[in-house]
Amino acid sequence: MTAAFTFPGQGSQALGMGKALAEAFPAARAVFDEVDAALGEKLTSIIWDGPAETLQLTENAQPALMAVSLATLRVLETEAGFSVAKDAAFVAGHSLGEYSALAAAGGLSISDTARLLRTRGLAMQKAVPVGVGAMAALLGLEYETAVAVANEAAQGQVCEAANDNGAGQVVVSGDKAAVERALEIARTKGAKRAMLLPVSAPFHCRLMQPAADAMAEALAGVTIKWPVSPLVSNVLAAPISDPDEIRRRLIEQVTGTVRWRESVAYMASHGVVRFFEIGAGKVLSGLVKRIADGAIGISVGGPGDIAAAKDAIAAVHSG
């Protein structure tokens, strides 16, 4: 198998995502209905009708992106013959996308995943008062240099590498003043661009510890099964399948670095050529091509993408 199924994280959300799929395919509609039922509210009406600022709230964006990913996957299964167990050498997701990946591989039920992501979004938002923390993208610096920038900027506060996205894209996270210092230091170290990100909280740094504690409690109360394909963990950049380890790594992930560059490199080094990005947006497909030589990123998010995905999975089988 030379394919991996990957699932997008926060920032890929867009008003109306998944609507065309739900209108065209009952399998997609059923996923959205299941998520609405699990949350006890019509999240779908926020996803499709807005307002946009309500969808952007972390507590809504996280389960919404998962719903679109799983709805897309169900259509790929029913219309294009996709099978996670047969076709995916690995599953992986960027931050919240790790939960989507687990649900896709049967490690979590869709209902539990929706509730966990609602809890995660609320806990991450509550962990740090608005305006106290910040995140910034440092473009054009290698990961090790970005870590050195963060360490220099901390000065007794928190400033840590949150996302190593590859292709010279590293995001730092922490106390606002420290992150602002990192912008200045990054420019002196040769960053092409360094800019604050429009996020509501400093994700993936140790300021998120209260959210990690909340997720430890929430994850203790759900059943995690062995996924049908191994999950390449954000915090390890290596595959895991044991339910107890998955639970532990999901808790660590709240405060830990999303090691996306290394995760993609790991999968590519183990024979993966085609990376299917399942759900909203095309962020991961763009990154894949820049991280792994010869890798193909295939984004599938709407009815118009299904035929091309079917051809691409056929190429996996024939190759």
Kind and range of the H or E run holding 166: strand 159-166
Predicted local distance difference test score (pLDDT) of residue 226: 98
Token output for 23? 């209108």
Is 95 in the active site? yes
Residue ranges matching CATH 3.40.366.10 in the chain: 3-127+207-318
Among candidate residues 12, 69, 95, 229, the one labeled active-site is 95
Spans of the chain, pLDDT less than 50: none
Q: What is the pLDDT of residue 198?
A: 87
pTM equals: 0.97
3-class secondary-structure state, position 242? coil
Q: Does domain 3-127+207-318 have CATH number 3.90.1150.10?
A: no
Q: Which long-range contacts (CB under 8 A, 24 or more apart) does 236-240 make?
A: 237/262, 237/263, 237/265, 237/266, 238/266, 239/90, 239/266
At residue 200, the pLDDT reads 83
Q: List alpha helices for the chain, DSSP H.
A: 19-24, 26-39, 43-49, 52-56, 58-80, 84-87, 97-104, 110-127, 143-154, 176-188, 209-220, 243-255, 260-269, 283-291, 306-318
φ, ψ dihedrals at 65, nearest 5°: -65, -40
Cα 292 from Cα 20, distance rounded (Å): 32
pLDDT at 167: 86
CATH 3.30.70.250 domain position(s) in the chain: 133-199
Q: Is 270 part of the annotated catalytic residue set? A: no
Length of the chain as a residue count: 319
Catalytic residue among 12, 94, 100, 204: 204
Distance separating alpha carbons of residues 118 and 66, to the nearest angstrom: 11
What's the pLDDT at 55? 96
For residues 298 and 276, the answer to whether their CB atoms sit within 8 Å is yes
CA atoms of 293 and 230, how far apart (whole Å): 23
> Bridge partners of 231?
91, 240
Tens of pLDDT, residues 231-289: 999 999 999 999 999 999 999 999 999 999 999 999 999 999 999 999 999 999 999 99
Q: Which CATH architecture has domain 133-199?
A: 2-Layer Sandwich (3.30)
Give me the pLDDT at residue 50, please.
95
